């Protein structure tokens, strides 16, 4: 089948799925949102640049090995500063790599998953294609930025290929201007080949009227590794995401950590699924939720053990900071392998009075004590990141802590 | 003093002078810990009658953290585990708060003194032995340059070697700043062997029943137990 017929078939599948609701999360009327050409903006203008810096974006990209900017439905800029790192708008990559691109299109995320994947195929635009070439180890982060200024539908399709033995660190900042109404559906597919390693740091700061439905799939080959940190620090109207990691390769490893601050009337349904297929593959899904105001949060973690001697662990911990907030921790384990070792732990609690009083007995006032306890609660093990990204993750967690104690 | 609707400490009049080391002995449930918490300003403990005076100032209604600023620091018997809060980072926070400039070297010095160098990267009080908990708690107390330390059961649930280290820590805190005093609660009285005291009280059912030198009080308690006296305070 040629590329054109393949793409036609994809479109047909998408059309059938256009009214298929997502398995999780509130249902959104996707027809209310249409892609928009962005207004002309200067990213260096402080009202834009401050917003972007808030989600870890280096607007000048001087500390990055490659960069990609998309505003609403338009690709604004893309450039690689590093030999061995290729970055292109996906449409351009499809033209350029007609011979192999179909091996990576809608494989890790099926196009008929739900109405959001369908709308991304049929009406989405933009998205990046990143390829880290064989054996290349990148010591500066690759950044991608998806910015909503005019609102409407933003539905980029992204593909990341880490070739054999390569190593790369991606940081993605997604944000929106205040009061802009929109639906963000980011499709991201990762293909991590043998012995390759990818870390993916995502920082989201939305506004209270935007709906967010990212769809992410990751394929891991032999002895490869994927580490992700997802942080959301300003309330969206709703976010639903459940990335699926297929640890297909033997001794492949996946770690996913979600750090969630739920504010206002936000509805969050956030989690990760790891399917352990390869012999000796490992998966760990961790979440920390701080729930305030009237927010509703589902924190999911699911591990499926299929292969021999696989190991998985799910840890969902949540802290309720409001009597009106609702939290559901949903750790799930499924095994079809007798040698699989899968464990989980989940907890939901409030700030412990004895911990606060203990810290007050060491000279902290009540707010300071709360802040120390919350920062401790949010402490997740940070592994495998470049020092600059580790600092970014820590500073975002510090910011989340400050916002939570306000 | 009471907690919730329950009156726990009913008739207590004690004084701690500059450089004094005062012990309070008493059986389980006699109100020792409530008394210390009440003096420290624990918001769960209500002072129903009477007053607490420190440096000629009535501090009965002063919040806990403000009492710490005056120099009154409680060293807890069983401090809570606080996951994710590293011992070192708490020490840094406290030392910065009290205006110490050489934070790193002060932490090293304290950790060596309290034999806690290997514990600094651990979560606060999580996965520590009884002795380690006491040593870490005293190290944190020492950070605050206290004028009066309120030490709750330093000798319970620890081995003899740890008691010596704990006692050394208390003596170090007392010796560092002239005039520093201690009010030490003990069930077993073991700590009195290692920390020279100036006075001791016995508390039973929330009432002070005996007062005297630590040696006399300890000897009496060892031979006769915490016998409740019916008429007033017996001075030994």
CB pairs under 8 A between A and B: 66
What pLDDT shows up at residue B163?
Answer: 87
> Under an 8 A CB cutoff, do A363 and B76 touch?
no
Distances (CA, A) of A186 to A153, A166, A213, A217, B154: 10, 24, 7, 11, 58
> Under an 8 A CB cutoff, do B82 and A373 touch?
yes
Instruction: Quote the pTM value.
Output: 0.89
Which of A27, A22, A23, A21 has the alpha carbon at shortest distance from A267?
A27
Q: How far apart are CA B206 and CA B204, in angstroms?
A: 5
Give me the helices (H) in A85-243, please. Answer: 90-96, 115-123
> Under an 8 A CB cutoff, do B97 and A354 touch?
no
What's the alpha-carbon Rg for chain A, to the nearest Å? 21
Distances (CA, A) of A208 to A180, A186, A398: 9, 18, 22
ipTM over the 0.90 cut-off: yes
Query: Quick one: B114 exposed, middle or buried, by C-beta within 10 A (0-12, 13-18, 19+)?
Result: buried
pLDDT digit string, tens, across residues B129-188: 888 998 999 999 999 999 999 999 998 888 888 888 889 889 989 998 889 999 999 988
> Under an 8 A CB cutoff, do B84 and A363 touch?
no
A75 DSSP β-pair partners:
A70
Q: How far apart are CA B55 and CA B60, in angstroms?
A: 13
What pLDDT shows up at residue A209?
Answer: 93
Q: Please name the member of A363, A373, A376 whose beta carbon is closest to the beta carbon of B68.
A: A363
B123/A contact by beta carbon, under 8 A? yes
What pLDDT shows up at residue B130?
Answer: 85
Contact B22, B183 (CB under 8 A): yes
What pLDDT shows up at residue A39?
Answer: 85
| Statement: residue B57 has pLDDT above 50 | yes
User: Which residues from chain B sit within 8 angstroms of residue A372, using beta carbons?
Assistant: 82, 85, 90, 93
Pairing type for strands A142-148 and A182-184 reads unpaired
Which of B98, B137, B136, B101 has the alpha carbon at shortest distance from B120?
B136
A227: confidence class by pLDDT, cuts 50, 70, 90: very high
Which of A85, A172, A99 has the alpha carbon at shortest distance from A129?
A85
Contact A210, A182 (CB under 8 A): yes
Query: Quick one: A50 exposed, middle or buried, by C-beta within 10 A (0-12, 13-18, 19+)?
Result: exposed
In this structure, chain B runs to a length of: 236
Q: H/E element holding A147?
A: strand A142-148
> Under an 8 A CB cutoff, do B85 and A357 touch?
no
- From the candidates B64, B96, B124, which should be mutated to test the interface with A, based on the most A CB atoms within 10 A? B64
Residue of A nearest to B76 (CA): A358
The DSSP-derived string for A15-27 is HHHTT---SSS--
Largest pairwise CA distance in chain B:
54
pLDDT digit string, tens, across residues A93-122: 999 999 999 999 999 999 999 999 999 999
What pLDDT shows up at residue A218?
Answer: 98
**Phi, then psi, of B13 in degrees rounded to 5:** -135, 110
- From the candidates A290, A315, A349, A358, which should be mutated to test the interface with B, based on the most B CB atoms within 10 A? A358
User: Which residues from chain B sit within 8 angstroms of residue A377, using beta carbons?
Assistant: 83-84
Neighbour tally for A19: CB within 10 Å: 12
Q: Check the CA dihedral B81-B87-B93-B97 and report its sign.
A: positive
Cα dihedral B54/B60/B62/B64 (nearest 10): 80
B79/A contact by beta carbon, under 8 A? yes
Which of A279, A215, A285 has the alpha carbon at shortest distance from A247?
A279
**In the numeric block, which tokens belong to residue B20?**
């004094």
Q: Is B5 helix (H, G, I), strand (E, B) or coil?
A: coil
**In the numeric block, which tokens belong to residue B22?**
């005062």
> Under an 8 A CB cutoff, do B85 and A363 touch?
no
- Give percent helix, percent strand, percent coil of chain A, each to the nearest 5: 20, 40, 40
Q: Please name the member of B40, B76, B82 whose beta carbon is closest to the beta carbon of A376.
A: B82
User: Looking at residue A137, what DSSP letter applies?
Assistant: B
Task: Tell me the shortest Cα–Cα distance from B228 to chain A, in angstroms.
Answer: 32
B142/A contact by beta carbon, under 8 A? no
Pairing type for strands A182-184 and A85-89 reads unpaired
Share of chain A above pLDDT 90, in %: 91
A363/B contact by beta carbon, under 8 A? yes
Contacts of A64 (CB under 8 A, 6+ apart): A58, A81, A140, A141, A142, A143
Residue of B nearest to A376 (CA): B84
| Statement: residue A153 has pLDDT above 70 | yes
Contact A166, A137 (CB under 8 A): yes
> Under an 8 A CB cutoff, do B83 and A352 touch?
no
Q: How far apart are CA A65 and CA A79, in angstroms?
A: 9
Residue of A nearest to B150 (CA): A361
pLDDT digit string, tens, across residues A367-394: 999 999 999 999 888 888 999 999 999 9
User: Looking at residue A293, what DSSP letter applies?
Assistant: T
Buried residues in A326-349 as b, exposed as e (16+ CB within 10 A):
ebebbbebebebeebebebebebe
Q: How far apart are CA A175 and CA A354, in angstroms?
A: 38
Mean pLDDT of all residues in A248-261 = 97
Distances (CA, A) of B16 to B184, B205, B212: 11, 21, 13
Residue of A nearest to B75 (CA): A361
Task: Tell me the shortest Cα–Cα distance from A375 to chain B, in angstroms.
Answer: 7
Pairing type for strands B148-152 and B72-75 reads parallel
| Statement: residue B233 has pLDDT above 80 | no
What pLDDT shows up at residue B229?
Answer: 52
Q: How far apart are CA A200 and CA A190, in angstroms?
A: 10
pLDDT digit string, tens, across residues A158-204: 999 999 999 999 999 999 999 899 999 999 999 999 999 999 999 99
User: Which residues from chain B sit within 8 angstroms of residue A362, using beta carbons?
Assistant: 68, 73, 90, 94, 140, 144
Residue scoring higher pLDDT (A312 or B113): A312
Round the average pLDDT of chain B to a whole number and report it: 91
B148 DSSP β-pair partners:
B72, B181
Q: Please name the member of A355, A375, A378 whose beta carbon is closest to the beta carbon of B80.
A: A355
Contact A93, A127 (CB under 8 A): no
Q: Please name the member of B41, B83, B94 whose beta carbon is closest to the beta carbon of A362.
A: B94
Q: Please name the member of B68, B85, B98 whose beta carbon is closest to the beta carbon of A361.
A: B68
In the block, tokens 């054109």 appear at: A4
B7 DSSP β-pair partners:
B2
Q: Is A140 helix (H, G, I), strand (E, B) or coil?
A: coil
- From the candidates A345, A361, A372, which should be mutated to test the interface with B, based on the most B CB atoms within 10 A? A361
Distances (CA, A) of B188 to A334, B147, B222, B226, B230: 53, 25, 9, 11, 23
């Amino acid at each position: 089948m040629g590329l054109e017929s393949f793409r036609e078939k994809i479109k047909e599948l998408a059309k059938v799925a256009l009214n298929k609701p997502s398995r999780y999360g509130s249902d959104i009327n996707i027809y209310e949102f249409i892609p928009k050409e962005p207004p002309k903006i200067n990213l260096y203008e402080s009202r834009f640049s401050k917003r972007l810096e808030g989600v870890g974006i280096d607007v000048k990209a001087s500390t990055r090995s490659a960069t990609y900017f998309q505003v609403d439905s338009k690709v604004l800029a893309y450039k690689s500063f590093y030999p061995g790192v290729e970055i292109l708008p996906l449409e351009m990559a499809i033209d350029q790599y007609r011979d192999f691109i179909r091996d990576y299109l809608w494989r890790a995320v099926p196009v008929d998953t739900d109405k959001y994947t369908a709308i991304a195929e049929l009406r989405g635009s933009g998205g990046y294609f990143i390829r880290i070439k064989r054996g290349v180890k990148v010591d500066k982060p690759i950044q991608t930025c998806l910015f909503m200024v005019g609102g409407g539908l933003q539905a980029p399709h992204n593909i990341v290929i880490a070739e054999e033995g390569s190593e790369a660190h991606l940081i993605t900042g997604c944000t929106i201007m205040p009061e802009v109404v929109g639906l963000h559906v980011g499709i991201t597919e990762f293909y991590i080949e043998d012995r390759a390693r990818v870390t993916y740091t995502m920082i989201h700061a939305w506004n209270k009227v935007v709906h967010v439905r990212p769809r992410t799939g990751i394929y891991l080959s032999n002895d490869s590794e994927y580490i992700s940190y997802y942080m959301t620090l300003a309330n969206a109207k709703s976010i639903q995401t459940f990335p699926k990691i297929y640890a297909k390769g033997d001794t492949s490893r996946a770690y996913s950590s979600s750090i969630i601050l739920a504010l206002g009337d936000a509805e969050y349904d956030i989690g990760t699924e790891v399917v352990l297929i390869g012999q000796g593959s490992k998966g760990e899904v961790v979440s920390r939720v701080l729930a305030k105001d009237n927010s509703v949060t589902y924190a999911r973690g699911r591990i499926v053990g299929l292969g021999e001697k696989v190991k998985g662990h799910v840890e969902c911990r949540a802290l309720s900071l409001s009597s009106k907030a609702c939290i559901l921790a949903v750790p799930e384990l499924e095994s079809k392998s007798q040698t699989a070792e899968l464990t989980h732990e989940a907890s939901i609690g409030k700030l412990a009075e004895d911990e606060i009083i203990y810290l007050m007995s060491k000279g902290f006032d009540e707010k300071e004590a709360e802040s120390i306890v919350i920062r401790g609660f949010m402490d997740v093990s940070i592994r495998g990141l470049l020092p600059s990204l580790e600092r970014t993750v820590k500073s975002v967690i510090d910011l989340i802590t400050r916002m939570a104690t306000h | 003093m009471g907690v919730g609707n329950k009156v726990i400490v009913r008739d207590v009049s004690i004084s701690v002078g500059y450089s004094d080391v005062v012990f309070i002995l008493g059986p389980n449930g006699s109100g020792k810990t409530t008394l210390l918490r009440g003096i420290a300003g624990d918001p769960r403990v209500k002072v129903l009658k009477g007053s607490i005076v420190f440096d000629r100032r009535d501090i009965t209604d002063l919040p806990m953290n403000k009492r710490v600023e005056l120099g009154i620091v409680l060293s807890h018997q069983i401090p809570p585990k606080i996951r994710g809060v590293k011992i070192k980072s708490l020490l840094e926070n406290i030392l910065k708060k009290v205006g110490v400039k050489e934070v790193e070297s002060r932490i090293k010095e304290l950790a060596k003194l309290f034999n806690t160098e290997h514990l600094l990267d651990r979560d606060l009080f999580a996965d520590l032995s009884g002795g380690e908990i006491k040593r870490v708690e005293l190290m944190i107390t020492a950070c605050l340059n206290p004028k009066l330390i309120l030490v709750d059961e330093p000798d319970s649930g620890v081995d003899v070697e740890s008691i010596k280290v704990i006692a050394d820590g208390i003596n170090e805190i007392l010796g560092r700043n002239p005039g520093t005093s201690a009010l030490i609660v003990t069930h077993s009285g073991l700590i009195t062997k290692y920390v020279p005291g100036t006075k001791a009280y016995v508390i039973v059912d929330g009432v002070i029943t005996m007062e005297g030198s630590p040696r006399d009080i300890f000897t009496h308690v060892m031979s006769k137990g915490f016998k409740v006296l019916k008429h007033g305070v017996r001075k030994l």
